[in-house]
A and B are shown apart, each in its own frame.
Chain A
Amino acid sequence: MTTTPGAGADAHYDAIVVGGGHNGLTHAAYLAKAGLRTVVLEKNDLVGGAAITEELLPGFSFTTFSYALSLLRPEIIHELDLVRHGFLPLMMPSSFHPTGDGGHLLFGDDHAQNLQEIRRHSPRDADAYERYHHDLDRVCQAVRPLFDNPPPDLWGDGPQDAADVRWLLEHLGGLDRSTVHDVVRLLTGSAADWIQDYFTHPAVAGYHASSSVIGSKVGPMSPGSGLVLLFHKLGEHDGHLGSWAFHKGGNGGFTQVLARAASAYGAEIRLGADVTDLITHDGRAVGVALADGTELRAPVVVSALDPRRTFLELCDPRELPLDLVDNVRRMKFRGVSAKVNFALDDLPTFPGLPDTRDHFGGFLNIGPTIEYVERAFDASKYGWYSDEPYIDAAVQSVVDPDMAPPGKHVMSCFVQYAPYELRTSSWDAERERFGDRAQAVLESHFPGFGELVLHREVVTPVDIEARTGLSEGNIFAGEFLAPQMYFFRPAPGWSQYATPLDGYYQCGSGTHPGGCVIGSPGRLAAQRVLRDRRDG
């Protein structure tokens, strides 16, 4: 899928979107749907950015980077009519947590059976389970409006800004005391503290901490991990809060759906189009220049890249206010996540469940206890990778058989911690050794694992950066912690998708509400662009 025939270098556009990741595609689809002649410029030969699926071995599809779907806003599915273009989120029916001592926790779709599973380990924790989910869901519902609307501009002086602030205060004022307190606990505290208020059994607590460190340079005991946990619970699958799905064909399957939708609305997608510079005139964006020397013109240019690239690379920082430049320079990226993806000859074996295979239906959470994950984190503080990493794995061919040839499997492993900068070596030197560490951990839980491996792909933060442009391999396009969220994402005063340059906008994961395959930045930024056009 490349271009609309006849569109040459001199074609005229209403809007140029830089970057064909899922946010760029979402954004372009909305603009095109509103009637704007829109072009997406993607440097790679494939759209999707961090959400791609690649056939590395004939018949084996790898989710190179991101691997599951939940945060995608349901509005987008309907507003862009994605089902018509092949949107198909498949249920991941189970969640499996080896407890490290040969035992396990296995969760499924039946609430009573899940309770029983916890009761097997700790009757007390089983009692806490429903309360835990109730409290967490309540927090999710409380923050959802913040999540789904642009942050008010606290420093703005327009009538709309005042109204936005009032809206926010009214919303917060409408929440009851304990909800507000729980919100703050999660926004500022550690996942461990939050979880241990409910659960005492180390494995049960460990299971619940599983999403508290994803993509972030924190351990479950670090302040901030509460927010990471909360963020990963804000999504849904078919109305089930916090549930994750696997899109048919992986997240790359999903971005192909988006590309089809964008094209159907009339957007043009150009692959192999590496944008080097924003072209400005009198403080206004007027177009972009590509690496091959091509220039394209449009009154609206939208960067779907991360803030560092949006403000420090595409445009000349000297054209921007100092405080913005300073804030973007100080923004933390420091990716710590890697992928180790496998093609497997057969399903692995978990000795505690020799006769069933249904525990491979969803996430395999290899991080038995909070302490295990915290120790895995330790190394990264000192510029090294975990000896025994935490792994969020999924045998995706169980959920979607089309991911691998009959009887064979693909397994995606999201592995932490792998700091972008290694203190005493380089990722080129360590890549396969790191892959070995991850594989050794899998071997310890699934004996014989190594013999099943047909192919292994190790993707380090350096590789993430090189392929997608996500600075320092940060999966969220900038750390997702309190100093870099909401009013401050990507910088105070610039959280509403505009930039100081007229006609230049931002719609990547570095804007509110942040990373993941979520689409909101693309959607909310489109609303902003269209409103500005309407208001002249």
Chain B
Amino acid sequence: MLLVTAWPYADAVRTTPFHPRLSELNDQGLYTHWQGTLSALRYSHAPKHEYFAVRNGVGVFDSSPLCKYAVRGPDAERLLTGALVRDVRTVRDGQAAYTLWCDDRGGVMQDGVLLRRTGEDFLLTAARPALGWFEELATGLEVELEDVTDAFAMLAVQGPRSRTVLAEVAGLAGAVEGLAWSEHRSATVAGTPVTLSRTGYTGDLGYELVVPEAAALDVLDAVLEAGRPHSIRPFGEEALMTLRIEAGLPLVDVEWHDSRLAFTDADRVTPSELGFGWMLGGVREGRRFVGAEAIRRELSGRTSRWATTGIVVDWADWDRLHRDAGLLPPKSEHPLPYESMLRSGDGESEVGYCTSFVYSPVLQRHIGIARVRPDLAARGTELRLELTIAHRTTTVRVATTRMPFFDPERKKS
């Protein structure tokens, strides 16, 4: 008899603290692995409906698999200032700051959000493990680095109704009230201290809750209960992808690869090339962090190879190309799984590439996050995007545009 053997590490596939409840709300059973943890692709047959919960109601996303590092001690600021691209000294207590970190070549390794609780107490999130990297940098400093990934669950509550819903959760009303975009506060829900930040990966009005693992279900239940009259629903990674592209937010391993893991320079990008030149204040003047020297050379020598820009597809050209081929013009809210090349307006030369591409239901346009030659990044530059239609390579007219593509006032108001 032939026995089918189980992969010996199958039980290493983990679930998040919210999983017991969220899996009850999941009638699809489709998961992906996020750092060895199950992450729902979708909860229902219609990820686009989940997407609309965020754009027109309220949705929750389980971001517990994010790596979380507590950084504490007298030298915490020093460590982070020397490691992160954004100037940590300007991050106030109670502020949440999106940032990157680089290797010594000035190539972007990862991104994350830094919450500064008090002067010497930080929490840093990262999509991929980074403990080793920061430990190396912490050598000789008086700082405590703790991986608290498993100690805390993280719940994103996003959408125009998120504020209303959270204000109805016992214990959160005070914290939600007046919490400005990119700020965070502590609160107590279900008898447990939680951190509430006005952050997210959807580009909409939204919040995130950092919750001690043991209280995760209680807090989730309280949020779902408050959200029920507002038709709250969980959303999965598929909806998240559409949302984050509309928000113009990059994703590691899609928009870029960790510089330390890349084999060629073509697979590396610098913060400027990735569209985060705005983080580089003070670098020319000598601000120091890992990679700063290389970045300073890049800035002064104007050697950036790329500029990141949004592109928006000419709808009429898109429709015509497909109709001429006898096809219905597809408008899919699922991002293309591959990268496409960008050509100059006359189609003659390759001038860049598009890293994420999707049809945006709220904008009714195909949009993409792209990297182009810096001289072509000015808003409104006409380019052509390569695609295949009916098994033939062709190009469609696109124009560069500013990101975020979708940026509702409510996000920050």
Contact = CB atoms under 8 A, between A and B. Distances in A.
A129 to B, nearest CB: 16
Contact of A90 (B52, B161, B230, B319): B52
A141 B231 CA distance: 37
B316 A78 contact: yes
Most chain B Cβ neighbours within 10 Å, of A88, A240, A356, A401: A401
B49 A401 contact: no
Contact of B361 (A108, A137, A141, A238): A238
Contacts of A239: 328-332, 359
Contact of B230 (A137, A238, A401): A401
A316 B329 CA distance: 46
A237 B46 CA distance: 14
A164 interface: no
A11 interface: no
A168 interface: no
Contacts of B161: 401
A400 B331 CA distance: 22
A130 interface: no
B230 A406 contact: yes
A165 interface: no
A91 B48 contact: yes
Contact of B46 (A75, A108, A137, A401): A108
Contacts of B359: 238-239
A401 B364 contact: no
Given A238-B331, A239-B329, A406-B230, A94 B46 contact: yes
Given A238-B359, A239-B328, A110 B52 contact: no
A361 B46 CA distance: 10
Contacts, number: 77
What secondary structure prevails in chain B residues at the interface with A?
Answer: loop
B46 A109 contact: yes
Interface string B300-318: 0000000000000001100
Contacts of B27: 356
A59 interface: no
A87 interface: yes
A83 interface: yes
A401 B363 contact: no
A93 B48 contact: yes
B364 A77 contact: yes
Interface in A324-372: 356, 358, 361
B45 A74 contact: no
A179 to B, nearest CB: 12
Nearest to A406: B229
Contacts of B330: 239
A398 interface: yes
A248 interface: yes
Given A78-B315, A78-B364, A241 B328 contact: yes
Given A238-B331, A239-B329, A74 B319 contact: yes
A499 to B, nearest CB: 31
Contact of B56 (A141, A361, A400, A406): A400
A93 B361 CA distance: 14
Given A83-B364, A241-B328, A401-B56, A110 B45 contact: yes
A113 interface: yes
Contacts of A87: 364
Contact of B44 (A236, A240, A358): A358
B334 to A, nearest CB: 11
Interface string A224-267: 00000000000010111100000010000000000000000000
A529 B56 CA distance: 39
B362 interface: yes
A407 B228 contact: yes
B337 to A, nearest CB: 18
B386 interface: no
Most chain B Cβ neighbours within 10 Å, of A87, A89, A239, A402: A239
B258 interface: no
A407 B229 contact: yes
What secondary structure prevails in chain A residues at the interface with B?
Answer: mixed
A88 B56 contact: yes
A398 B364 contact: no
Interface string B42-69: 0011111100100011000000000000
A113 B48 contact: no
Contact of A398 (B46, B231, B332): B231
Interface residues of A, number: 35
Interface residues of B, number: 31
Interface in A472-507: none
B44 A108 contact: yes
A85 to B, nearest CB: 12
A108 to B, nearest CB: 4
B111 interface: no
A74 B231 CA distance: 29
Contacts of B208: none
B333 interface: yes
A468 to B, nearest CB: 28
A83 B333 contact: no
Interface string A373-413: 00000000000000000000000011111100011000000
B77 to A, nearest CB: 43
Contacts of B57: 401
Nearest to B161: A401
A400 B49 CA distance: 11
A91 B230 contact: no
B403 to A, nearest CB: 16
Contacts of A356: 27
B58 to A, nearest CB: 8
Contacts of B363: 83
Given A74-B319, A90-B56, A239-B328, A401 B361 contact: no
Nearest to B168: A406
Given A90-B56, A400-B56, A401-B57, A361 B49 contact: yes
Nearest to A357: B231
Contacts of A89: 361
Contacts of A401: 56-57, 161, 230-231
B157 to A, nearest CB: 15
Contacts of B329: 239
Contacts of B319: 74
Contacts of A90: 52, 56
A78 B363 CA distance: 10
Contacts of A361: 46, 49
Nearest to B49: A93
A110 B332 CA distance: 13
Interface string A435-472: 00000000000000000000000000000000000000
25 contacts: A74-B319, A83-B363, A91-B46, A91-B48, A91-B49, A93-B46, A94-B45, A108-B46, A109-B45, A109-B46, A109-B47, A109-B49, A110-B46, A137-B328, A141-B326, A141-B328, A238-B359, A238-B361, A239-B330, A239-B332, A239-B359, A358-B44, A397-B231, A398-B231, A401-B57
Given A83-B364, A87-B364, A358-B44, 19 more contacts: A74-B315, A75-B316, A88-B362, A91-B48, A91-B49, A91-B52, A93-B46, A93-B49, A94-B46, A108-B46, A109-B46, A110-B45, A239-B328, A239-B332, A240-B331, A241-B328, A361-B49, A398-B231, A406-B230
Q: 3 shortest A-B CB distances, which residue pairs?
A: A239-B331, A407-B229, A406-B229
